[in-house]
Amino acid sequence: MPLAKPALIFDLDGTLTDSKPGIVGCLRQVLDARNMGDQGPLERFVGPPVEEWTTELLPHGSDEARAELAREYRACYAREGWMNNSVFPGVRAMLNQLQEAGFQLFVCTSKQQHFAVRILDLFELSSLFTAIYGDKAEYASHGKADLLASLLGDYSLSPATTWMIGDRIYDIQAAHSNRIRCLAAAWGYGPSEECAQADAIAASPQDVPAFVRHSLVASQPTSSNPVRFPS
């Protein structure tokens, strides 16, 4: 009896697209307009939900103050930031290979869903995915683990045959919270110490198809050390 092919759930920012210029550019505009001073390297805000970094930037602010900061950022992002973006080299070919091989592909991102769809439509990638899950303002929780849980439940995906593929610790934690494994996208924004917490590491998009083929025949893993592709 053939083994079931795993479902592959991709993060967006830092995994499929290089969105850092648009995100950091809008953050800098908003912070400068508010005269909030030097907040250190802004790259750390690429990945987590907006609601998380507004709390860091306004630790003593009210919920409304944080919500207003988020609105200002999203207005900039809707106006110009989302277009300041590009597909990582090798990603399009990777996705085409995986789809042609019969893998079920999804996106799960902390970015608001309408932005995620707009970006994937811009790059003509949306049709490759069974579903695109992103955050929505009306959700009670903005955590990635809860969003991933919704996706897994809605599509009845088995934890034993599902992988999350992402570049940051938020992807790894969300995957493990839902009892699925995570393949770290080492070409993205996550530092090596974050990638080391994943179940396996892919150095480039070109390595992902070989990895998932290997995962079909590999024993249900994993050792305490992540597998690296290429080895």
Q: Where are the domains of the chain?
A: 7-18+86-229, 20-83
Catalytic residue among 11, 135, 199, 207: 11
Mean pLDDT to the nearest integer, 75-91? 96
Q: Starting from the edge strand earliest in sequence, which strands make up the sheet with 131-135, in order?
A: 131-135, 104-112, 7-10, 162-166, 181-185, 200-202, 227-229
Give CA–CA dist 199/9, Å, rounded: 14
The answer, yes or no, to whether residue 136 has pLDDT greater than 70, is: yes
The answer, yes or no, to whether residue 231 has pLDDT greater than 60, is: no
The answer, yes or no, to whether residue 1 has pLDDT greater than 90, is: no
| pLDDT per residue as tens digits for the range 155-175 | 999 998 999 999 999 999 999
Angle at 169 between CA 75 and CA 90, to 5 degrees: 75
Average pLDDT across the chain, whole number: 91
Task: Find out if CATH 3.30.43.10 is the number for domain 20-83.
Answer: no
Query: For the whole model, what pTM was predicted?
Result: 0.87
Model pLDDT, residue 225? 58
Mean pLDDT to the nearest integer, 69-88? 95
The answer, yes or no, to whether residue 3 has pLDDT greater than 80, is: no
Model pLDDT, residue 165? 98
Q: Identify whether 154 is a catalytic site residue.
A: no
The answer, yes or no, to whether residue 5 has pLDDT greater than 80, is: no
Q: Is 67 in a helix, a strand, or coil? A: helix
CATH superfamily of 7-18+86-229: HAD superfamily/HAD-like (3.40.50.1000)
Asked if the domains 7-18+86-229 and 20-83 are classified in one and the same CATH topology, the answer is no
